[in-house]
Chain A
Amino acid sequence: MKLWLEKQRYLIDYTLASLARRKARNLGLLLVYTLLVFMLASVTLYTHALRQEAARVLASSPEVIVQRMVAGRHDLIPPGYMEKIGRIRGVQKMEGRLWGYYYDTVTRANYTFMVPAVSVPANNEIIVGPALERSRGLARNNGVTFRSYSGKLHSFVIAEVLPQASELVSADLVLMSEENFRAFFDYPVGHYTDIALSVANPQEVRNVALKLAAALPDARPILRDEVLRTYASIFDWREGIVLALLSAAILAFGILAWEKASGLSAEEKREIGILKAIGWETGDVIKMKFWEGLLVSLTAFLVGFVAAYVHVFHFAAALFEPVLKGWAVLYPRFQLSPHIDGVQVATLFFFTVVPYAAAVLVPIWKAAITDPDTVMRG
């Protein structure tokens, strides 16, 4: 055993010396390889953690949201609509929701105005989300004026700023009283934006939705299950400009690695010939190259993965911010809770380490089984 270990150490010594002879080329390859693993791992870790976060947080969202559609568009819920829904068996509780969008020309940002069901602010007072506080430089007890869509100016006092920890769900929220909301948007009395339903028996949610669609053909029920599925596929691998760009990078790396690994240079062939001529066995040459593949690919995988972990969970995936932000002015600052999917890590390992190690070994095996004299003559 000790002899075997000593032999491996000598092989690694030789491999490192061999790699050092083509330092620039091998370091360049290692750098590109590490960057590729870093990008792939960052995307994987980020999207998985975000999906998990969405699944946990939105598990508390309303069981069913009922929208009314007019000409394919979302429209207000008119008076009398709730009574019809109340007659459907299985509906336990329903509440009309009041919410809407407001474009602030000062910050050029979109806000979500909403009337909370509990802890409703007093008239002319609002509770704002943390991103809004940052973008408009607001603080508690400050006054703020918004121009409504009818052109009237409405002034409010900031009663409270929502906690920073809730930013992922509340970044752009402006909470106000029902009276203020209706006055601001000129909302007709008795009308609501949509309805939040809860169903007595969770097994019956789909049946209640079917009954609802039959009783009110212009209604569109959105089940919590569908909301969760929407978020489960939010960064689907088929979508996403980042992944499209990454796939080009993966292809480029594939070509680079294949070219490096499969096409042995004349120098490398001569080296193998000399090794065999001085008494190295085919197995030794293959072991030496195996160590080369393993050292390069394992280093790239480990360094790339650890850097990606630190990037996503300790630096809030700062490199993705410009991509995720798009044209949005308000962007939530949040720290995702780390959830690492073992299967995804294993897949990443398999698709980054194994192909490279294999691509290094095959041509070397071909060269190593050839007569040394032939190999050296090229």
Chain B
Amino acid sequence: MRSADCALLFLSVAIAAFAFCFVDAALLRAAALPDEAARSEMVTQLRLTDLALFTEARYTRHPSQADLHSAFQDHPLALEHFPTGSLIGPPRHLLKLGAGETAP
């Protein structure tokens, strides 16, 4: 087989795999629907407000419920030191307050 044909065949397979990602995504989404509904139901029943993604500190466990000072809780000059603080920003409503707006 000519090297050009090999390269074009490889590219065709790669393009097919790329397209299959979208098909696979649709199949996985359909399969995940019951679990998703169960998660939503649990959020309603338990009145949850946050994802349990970062459990290392209270303001990262429930970022939407954190207050302005929780990231600097240890002493007045303490810098925020949990690694998650580098990944997620403060809640949007606290950012608004920081810009001089008032709470709703």
Chain B interface category by residue count = 35 or more
- Minimal beta-carbon separation of A166 from chain B (angstroms): 5
CB contacts between A and B, total, < 8 Å: 234
Interface presence of B2 (CB below 8 A): yes
Q: Once the chains are docked, how many angstroms separate the CA of A128 from the CA of B5?
A: 58
A313 at the B interface (CB under 8 A): yes
A169, B39: Cβ atoms under 8 Å?
A: yes
Report yes or no: B67 in contact with A72, Cβ–Cβ below 8 A.
yes
Contact residues, A302-344 vs B (CB, 8 A): 302-303, 305-306, 309, 313, 323-324, 326-332, 335, 337-340
Residues of A within 8 A of B102 (CB): 213
- Tell yes or no: A16 within 8 A of B by CB: yes
- In the complex, which residues of chain A have a beta carbon less than 8 angstroms from the beta carbon of B41? 60
- Cross-chain contact B52 with A171 (CB below 8 angstroms): yes
Name B92's closest neighbour in chain A (CB-CB).
A229
Partner of A326, one of B17, B84, B104: B84
Say yes or no: is A62 at the interface (Cβ < 8 Å to chain B). Answer: yes
Nearest chain B CB to A289 CB, angstrom units: 15
Q: A110-B55, A241-B86 are in contact. Are A221 and B47 (CB under 8 A)?
A: no
Distance of B43 from chain A, by nearest CB (Å): 4
Q: Which of A8, A221, A231, A306 contacts B14 (CB 8 A)?
A: A306
Q: Is the interface of B mostly helix, strand, loop or mixed?
A: helix
In the complex with contacts A65-B49, A171-B52, A9-B2 CB distance below 8 A: yes
For A208, the closest partner residue in chain B by CB is B104
Partner of A338, one of B4, B25, B35, B56: B25
Interface residues of B in 42-97 (CB under 8 A from A): 42-58, 60-65, 67-70, 82-84, 86-89, 91-93
Chain B's closest residue to A58 (CB) is: B43
> Whole-angstrom distance between the alpha carbons of A62 and B10 in the complex?
51
The residue that A241 contacts in the complex, of B57, B58, B87, with Cβ under 8 A, is B87
Report yes or no: A332 in contact with B92, Cβ–Cβ below 8 A. no
Residues in chain A near residue B54, CB distance under 8 A: 324, 326, 328
Q: A221: nearest residue on chain B (CB-CB)?
A: B104
Contact check, B104 vs A223: say whether CB atoms are below 8 A apart.
yes
A residues with a Cβ closer than 8 A to B are: 8-10, 12-13, 16-17, 50, 53-54, 56-62, 65, 67, 69, 72-74, 95, 97, 101, 109-110, 112, 114, 116-119, 129, 131, 162-163, 165-173, 175, 194, 196, 206, 209-210, 213, 220-223, 226-227, 229-231, 233-236, 238-242, 295, 298-299, 302-303, 305-306, 309, 313, 323-324, 326-332, 335, 337-340
Q: A327-B82, A340-B21 are in contact. List 6 more A-B contacts (CB 8 A).
A: A10-B4, A95-B47, A166-B39, A171-B52, A226-B64, A332-B52
